[in-house]
Structure 1
């Protein structure tokens, strides 16, 4: 009994295989895979395309290339592949090989990704073709698509990008293939099942838009990018006398900024605050050079990080790169003025004299605008004060001939005449005293010249120092305004929108 049951089951299995074999042999008869499968050759063949996005693999901002893993679902009807299931054991579906080197091949539309940058251009896997008894043919080849995507990094890392895939037939125009979307029962961005109706500008227009063109039922979220929309567009493009149908699948994405906020935004803000603190130090302080040099190297490092991820183009510059460039310029200016001030302390006054225009601008106008009080210059004894406190010894030589004669006095009592010896000794001593006073006057003159030179040197150095303080104060105000405006106007709105 058991053996009889097994034989009956085996016969039924063999019968089903025979039915499928007969079906395949029947379908292969008089079939040519070069023939366009349409009963009326003057009518176009309808080919519907559904695009199923699986994962966003990578976005190369440097080379402006996007890589995704997706499945392309092609559907058309082949009138030569129809049969009655009752004649073939109830078989409703069968499958054919999709390899190019298969012994038997079916007709397939030569729909390709026009903006592909893959080495083989068509990077899809040759999957099998599913054929229904009604003649409907479906092929769903998976593939890793690498295509051109114009990246706009103006608001990096708070940017939004729009990439598109352009599909179309390579050799068939609109008279032979009517290429269109397959938009039934798709999973949209919100996660719900949607049926999208085309938005036509004109009732009979062949070009139209759809809100959702990509099926996301197998989509896996990306850790760096958020998918915010997948609109589509069907375009009929004229080339000469022929019209070609093209399908555009758009991918709207937004960059997730959590990792960038921790690794890039917060360090850049801290460095900017340290730069502001560097402007508060005195211009001639050696610690200012050390601090600003460290900040300068940090800014260059973060600017290199931003530049390494930005595409080499001049049409758009990241705001963050412009921010770091301004920081770099202001810090470099402060370092230059600080080094200049330190070098002026070791130079002679005549080698670093300040021009009248520079003195007018840096010592008078700029401090006045910045509401800075002009410091007192170093005080030194004036030559006029010393001249008034010391007898003009050089005038004593005019009185020397008169010292030999006594000076008469009308009111004084006549004194006893002195001896000639005592008078000569007095005159000699007085002359020697006058010579010593003249030598003292010469030494005092040299001291006055040296004191005057030192005073001028100190005044010039004080002016340069005050000019450096004014420039430092100007950089402090400009940099504080720049940090406040850039943070409140550019960075904070994006941080609030992404984190709150």
Structure 2
């Protein structure tokens, strides 16, 4: 046990001595570079003031945190990689124990002051001032992390099947293009445009997959802008990100409910008019669409440039529901008509009772009436009269057998009693004459009732034909409108695969 403790102490002391020598070389190098040589971090590191310092710039996208459509802001987590040569920070590795590079606080060296020009929160700088890496040939590499909120113009035309194009525009806050020239880190000096456009301009090797967006394109573009006030050029590097929304969430929570509500409006015409719930169903559907409109207003920006795709569909459905309410009111008005209030025109009878039912494959139940014979039948309850003018059995009255025998011959004429002249009726016995008058009154009343019922049933059938007609029209309109509007979205036909995940070898960035 004692021997083990002794060996451990000796090993620890040897490591401390080794680190002491190593740290002594690094301490001496740091002192010579930044203190002894009189290095000034406020002066641009060039030999002549007219020389142009080239700063290479690149970003490594770590995470697409959020795309706020309402406020038109994209939040990203990036590493901003910057490289330049500072000839005041070179050394001979042999004089400092073979040290090839050293990390120093970025506050102690000159920085090109690269900021995000199109930021949306007023925060232009990086999140953390990390250390910079100095190489023995004067190369300075600084890659601080940053969470940027950049402005992004949201195109809501095809929402929620949309593709957005956002950008991160970086430029020097202090220096113009004659003092500091910005070049993409993957730019090739041998190319004709020297990195004006980089197809794969963003490092996506460490990108954390987004649950809402797919990255389709990530390019970089160098721009040179000149202002009227100043002759100097002002370069910037713009990183363009093309993202496509993943549609599963909005399809399940927005599209399918809207389509279901749209087709519910068709069922209004299948609901019987006697139920009294047709208007209530229409109003309920209209209120549901209003809730979806309010939900949509909370998601998308309040723009007047274009109407989003889902907004067009909701507006189309709301128009259909409004028209269905108007048509339902008309159908109910027709359904409850009667001969006392309306007279059915001949063309209405011809079109809605004969022509349209055949076209709509509707068959009205047959109304065959029992054949009525103009004969009298003696039963145990009395005498039953059956004739063509009666749809039911009419009871005259009950006679005793003596009276029945006496008036048997007269009762045979009862079937034709309505057609007898008045002077012939007077020849009958008073009892038979009273019975005939009662039968005639009942027959007239039943005849009028049958006529009224027939007209009412005709109006109800016209209402049924209207319901079936508009059921076909609105069903066709819903199907055509649904496919015609939703299939306008280009992402439905976009089969491009996202760029992520990226293989570690597919990049021009150094590790």
TM-score normalised to the size of structure 2?
0.68
Indicate yes or no: 2:146 matched with 1:149: no
Does residue 235 (structure 1) correspond to residue 223 (structure 2)? The answer is: yes
- Please name the residue that 2:235 is paired with: 245
C-alpha distance in structure 1 between counterparts of 2:240 and 2:189, whole Å = 15
How far is 1:86 from its partner?
A: 1.8
Pick from 47, 61, 64: which aligns with 2:72? 64
Shift of 1:77: 0.8
Which residue matches 1:50?
58
On the 8 A contact 2:68/2:74 being kept in 1, the answer is yes
TM-aligned CA distance change 1:363 to 1:168, over 3 Å: farther
- Whole-Å separation in 1 of the counterparts to 2:39 and 2:342: 96
**Is there any run of 5+ residues in structure 2 with no aligned partner, and where?**
1-5, 365-416, 420-425, 427-436, 438-447, 498-511
Match in the other structure for 2:328: 338
> Which of 307, 310, 320 lines up with 1:320 in the alignment?
310
Contact 1:276 1:476 in 2 (8 A): yes
SS for the counterpart of 2:321 is helix
Q: Which moved more, 1:218-227 or 1:270-279?
A: 270-279
Equivalent residue for 1:263?
253
Q: How many residues align?
A: 437
Residue 254 (structure 1) aligned with residue 252 (structure 2):
no
Do the aligned partners of 2:188 and 2:194 also contact (CA within 8 Å) in 1?
A: no
For the Cα contact (< 8 Å) 1:197–1:210, is it kept in 2?
Answer: no
Q: Sort the Cα spacing of 1:270 and 1:497 in 2 relative to 1 into closer, same or farther, 3 A.
A: farther
The alpha-carbon deviation at position 450 of structure 1 amounts to 13
Shift of 1:181: 0.7
TM-score, normalised by the number of residues in structure 1: 0.69
Of the candidates 271, 291, 296, which is equivalent to residue 301 of structure 1? 291
Separation in structure 1 between the aligned mates of residue 126 and residue 30 of structure 2, nearest angstrom: 29
Q: More deviation in 119-128 or 344-353?
A: 344-353
State the Cα deviation string for residues 271-330 of structure 1 (Å, max 9, x = none): 333333333445665243344334333333334333322121122322122112111110
| Map of 1:494 onto structure 2 | 492
Instruction: Find the aligned partners of 1:223 and 1:352 in 2 and give their Cα distance.
Output: 64
Alignment of 1:403-482 (within 5 A): 473-482=472-481
State the superposition RMSD in angstroms.
Answer: 5.0
CA distance in 2, matches of 1:261, 1:464: 38
What is residue 142 of structure 2 aligned with on the other side?
139
2:81 corresponds in structure 1 to 73
1:470-497 C-alpha deviation (Å, 9 max, x unpaired)? 555543442343235346x347982895
Contact 1:47–1:177 (8 Å) recurs in 2: yes
Shift of residue 469, structure 1, vs aligned partner: 6.5
What residue is the counterpart of 1:165 in the other structure?
Answer: 168
Partner Cα separation in structure 2 for residue 9 and residue 456 of structure 1: 111
Rate the CA distance shift 1:37–1:283 in 2: closer, same or farther, 3 A. Answer: farther
Displacement of 1:390 after TM fit?
10
The answer to whether residue 220 in structure 2 is matched with residue 217 in structure 1 is no
Question: Contact conserved, 1:334 with 1:472, CA < 8 A, in 2?
Answer: no
Contact residue 199 and residue 220 of structure 2 kept, 8 A: yes
1:402 maps to none
Q: Give the whole-Å Cα distance in 2 for the aligned partners of 1:151 and 1:340.
A: 44
Structure 2 CA distance for partners of 1:73 and 1:353, relative to 1, 3 Å:
farther
Q: Is the 8 A contact 2:184 2:195 kept in 1?
A: no
Once the two structures are TM-superposed, the CA of residue 263 in structure 1 deviates from its matched residue by 2.5
SS of 1:230's partner is: strand
Q: Secondary structure at the match of 2:160?
A: coil
Compared with structure 1, are the counterparts of its residues 350 and 467 closer, same or farther at alpha carbon in structure 2 (3 Å cutoff)? Answer: farther
TM-superposed CA distance for 1:253, in Å, is 1.3
